[in-house]
Amino acid sequence: MSTAEKYSVRGGRRGRGGKGGGGGGGSSANGNGGSGSGGTVGDAEGSNTRTASWRASRLKPAVDEYGFVSKDSSTDLDVKLAAAIPSTNAIAAQGKNARYADSHNAELASIILSMRKLREGIVGSSRVDAFSSKAYMFMIRISILMKHPDSYHPAIQHLLYDIHPDVPLSASEKQEFAGYLMLHLASKMEAYNEAFMIKREFQVTDYRILQALDAMIQGNYWSFRATRRKVDLYKARLLEDADQRMRDHTLKCLGKSYFTVDVGYLESVTGTKWDGLKKECGVGWDMNSAGIITIRKQRRPEQKAAPPTPTVKVGYEL
């Protein structure tokens, strides 16, 4: 059997369409080139017709640019993800932090999906080495910046409880990622007992993290805002989960304690501008031209009416 005939047999076994055209090419070596070429075109046309009818009969329309493959395929997952993400023109015009936190950003969604595949590959292969440790630390930091707890929470647990016993982290790295887990438990889940268990287990001594936890437990809004200004970007992103909760608590405390307050002080302890407080929090207080906000009006004590003065008649009796 000649080389051309071997390729003809392989091409015929692979199926129809462009790959099956190898059979026609092989027949041309025996002098049947015309029939081989015609068969290739006919197979391609038939394949296109069958594909079009198959797509038309599907319950869900296929995406022509990508197409769908077998069930549970990664390509199918990528297509569904791309179809679910809207245009990013409006998001691109926003600030950097808004783009980090927006889950509908196509580029960030693609990064999250890629990191998930990498984590699944590392876990599936039971790989525990320096590379897996560095990869997990990188993915945790990126996921925190993007505010994606479904990515960084299990990754931190896997790093501390599965990788760290075999590939020990340095003292600073252990403090860093155990602190991230503490802040997540306290800010996002309000699980303060679990957060202090992590502190005791990994001997976390970062005073900023401990100060933030104390502020959230005690409702100390001033200490919470002061701590947020001290911490780095990663810890600040984690503390944002408790931001609205502490802001509501601050407004309740001010409403019960003050008659008037300066607008600058109010913005500093709530972390929001005055216009934002009125729109987002529904604050109905009034502010005058001097920047003084009236929270509630003072009630003046009621003045008791003076007793009537007795009239004295002065005269002489006749």
The sheet that has 260-262: what strands, in order across it?
A: 260-262, 292-294, 286-287
Q: Which two tokens stand for residue 243?
A: 């931001």
Decide which of 17 and 113 is more confident.
113
Model confidence at 142: pLDDT above 80 = yes
Model confidence at 150: pLDDT above 80 = yes
- In DSSP notation, 157-212 reads HHIIIIITTTSPPPHHHHHHHHHHHHHHHHHTS--HHHHHHHHHHHT---HHHHHH
Predicted local distance difference test score (pLDDT) of residue 278: 82
pLDDT tens-digit profile of 102-122?
555 778 888 889 999 999 999
Overall size of the chain counted in residues: 318
Which of these, 148, 143, 174, 144, lies nearest to 161 by C-alpha position? 174
pLDDT tens-digit profile of 228-270?
999 999 999 999 999 989 998 988 888 888 888 888 888 888 8
- Per-residue pLDDT band at 15 (split at 50, 70, 90): very low
For 147, 221, 222, 225, 288, the CA distances from 272, given in Å and listed in that order, are: 20, 13, 14, 11, 19
- The Cβ of residue 10 has, within 10 Å, a number of other Cβ atoms equal to 13
pLDDT tens-digit profile of 61-105?
444 443 444 445 445 555 554 555 444 444 444 444 555 555 557
Give the whole-angstrom CA distance, residue 67 versus residue 267: 52
Predicted local distance difference test score (pLDDT) of residue 305: 72
| Backbone Cα Rg of the chain | 35
C-beta separation of 167 from 133 below 8 A = yes
Model confidence at 48: pLDDT above 90 = no
